[in-house]
């Protein structure tokens, strides 16, 4: 099984036509019909936009007719018509584009249910000529009335022709001959082969229809999406970075308090119990209780040490990721080979995330894979830290079966990274994390 995004493996319902195309049950859902509805509506909206823009563009049509006509026309006249047409079209475009953009934002929800943001703003006429969003709407309107109209009309025409060919046996049966290319069909048996072929093509037609709708939606989202959404995304990215730093600082504070406070007091208690254990006669009534308390204190100290290491390992802070990965390998229940080609230090959040990805992957391999060996590689390539954990176990890891891999994917996504998983039945399993680490 090729590596796939863990986030994609735990995905829910598709939100776009392009995402729906990747699903196995695409033809059985509502997305083919939604894409078809979007396709059928495009020539209507594009035709209305073209009709509204035709009067201001009329001087261009006259200039073209004069330039290519049989009677010679002075070039000054052609140039004047071109200039007048450009001025009129430039004046009309922002005005015509406003209602077109409102309709298209509504239609976009057929093939892309994600929030678009921005919305259509009510601008006065003078403001419309100086507003960047209004000119993006104008550009979208031009594309819709030209390329959009051409492609959607051509595809609609092709679907209509295929539909006619599919029912051609019935049409021929009614006494009407059908001409298909160079062949004229006069009997139903002649049309059966064409009808079957056209029906097969129609079954696959939802895929190109949805692909065209997805391309249309991508252009619409790029040109009709508002600046407020872009500003919100920037603020979300900044707040996420602040939260990462805050969580990292809080984790280190907890680790420091446990290490310097509770752990030291527990060490002191263990020493006192050890001294009491030595001072008490072995046959005294309190000796067994003190021995049990001493053993429990030592066990609790070991657990607390493991907890502190799990919150934020000291070796990661003091010596960096390469040394921390080596320590993880030494503590692993199965043999681990580590290959780390890393600079001296990386950003602290990147090191911490990579460490916990490897730690979780090694824990999963020990619990579930039945592996006899694991390899861990870490290197910086193209401005990103790439960490991969591969084992020779039985495979079959499923992110939907638990929260471990899902949590790792979320943790990696916080740093704008991605987590990839390859785990076919029978093995091997490979977990790969890619974390941007511009220094």
Q: pLDDT per residue over 194-242, tens digit each?
A: 888 889 999 999 999 999 999 998 898 888 875 544 545 455 556 555 6
**For residue 425, is pLDDT > 60?**
yes
Q: Whole-model pTM?
A: 0.50
315 CB-near residues (< 8 Å, 6+ apart): 323, 324, 327
Percent share of the chain, pLDDT over 70: 77
What is the pLDDT, as a whole number, of residue 38?
93
* Whether residue 9 has pLDDT greater than 50: no
Q: How many CB atoms lie within 10 A of CB 313?
A: 20
User: Could you tell me which of 111, 106, 212 has the C-alpha nearest to residue 159?
Assistant: 212
Q: What average pLDDT does this structure show over 316-324?
A: 83
CB 245 within 8 A of CB 348: no
Tokens of 230: 């872009």
For 312, what's the count of Cα atoms within 13 Å in the CB-facing half-sphere? 22
Q: What angle do CA 105, 107, 111 make, to 5 degrees?
A: 105
DSSP code of 376? Answer: E
d(CA 398, CA 6): 9
The 10 Å Cβ neighbour count of residue 208 is: 14
For residue 283, pLDDT over 60 is answered with: yes
Residue 33: pLDDT band with limits 50, 70, 90: very high
- pLDDT grade for 34, boundaries at 50, 70 and 90: very high
* Bridge partners, residue 273, by sequence: none
The C-alpha atoms of residue 177 and residue 164 are separated, in whole angstroms, by: 12
pLDDT (0 to 100) of residue 293: 79
């Amino acid at each position: 099984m090729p590596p796939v995004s863990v986030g994609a493996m735990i995905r829910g319902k598709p939100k776009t036509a392009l995402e729906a195309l990747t699903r196995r049950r695409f033809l059985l859902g509502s997305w083919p019909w939604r894409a078809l509805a979007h396709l059928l509506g495009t020539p209507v909206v594009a035709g209305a936009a073209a009709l509204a823009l035709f009067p201001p563009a009329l001087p261009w049509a006259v200039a073209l007719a004069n330039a290519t006509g049989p009677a010679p026309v002075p070039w000054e006249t052609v140039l004047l018509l071109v200039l007048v047409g450009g001025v009129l079209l430039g004046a009309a475009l922002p005005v015509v584009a406003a209602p077109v953009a409102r309709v298209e934002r509504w239609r976009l929800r057929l093939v892309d249910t994600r929030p678009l943001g921005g919305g259509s703003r009510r601008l006065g006429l003078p403001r419309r000529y100086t507003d960047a969003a209004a000119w993006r709407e104008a550009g979208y309107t031009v594309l819709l009335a030209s390329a959009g109209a051409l492609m959607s009309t051509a595809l609609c025409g092709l679907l209509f022709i295929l539909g006619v060919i599919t029912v051609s046996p019935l049409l021929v049966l009614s006494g009407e001959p059908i001409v298909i290319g160079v062949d004229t069909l006069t009997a139903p048996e002649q049309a059966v082969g064409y009808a079957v072929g056209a029906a097969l093509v129609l079954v696959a037609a939802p895929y190109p229809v949805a692909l065209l709708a997805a391309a249309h939606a991508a252009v619409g989202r790029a040109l009709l999406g508002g600046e407020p959404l872009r500003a919100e995304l920037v603020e979300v990215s900044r707040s996420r970075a602040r939260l990462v730093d805050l969580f990292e600082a809080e984790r280190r504070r907890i680790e420091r308090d446990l290490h310097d406070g509770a752990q030291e007091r527990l060490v002191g208690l263990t020493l006192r119990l050890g001294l009491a254990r030595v001072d008490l006669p072995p046959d005294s009534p309190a000796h067994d209780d003190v021995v049990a308390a001493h053993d429990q204190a030592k066990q609790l100290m070991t657990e607390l040490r493991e907890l502190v290491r799990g919150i934020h390992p000291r070796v990661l802070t003091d010596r960096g990721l390469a040394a921390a990965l080596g320590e993880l390998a030494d503590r692993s229940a199965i043999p681990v080979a580590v290959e780390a080609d890393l600079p001296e230090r990386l950003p602290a959040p990147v090191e911490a995330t990579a460490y916990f990805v490897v730690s979780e992957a090694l824990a999963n391999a020990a619990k579930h894979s039945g592996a006899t060996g694991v390899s861990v590689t870490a290197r910086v390539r193209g401005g990103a830290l790439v960490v991969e954990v591969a084992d020779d176990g039985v495979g079959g890891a499923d992110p939907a079966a638990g929260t471990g891999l899902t949590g790792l994917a979320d943790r990696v996504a916080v740093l704008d990274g991605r987590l990839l998983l390859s785990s076919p039945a029978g093995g091997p399993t490979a977990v790969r994390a890619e974390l941007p680490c511009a220094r």
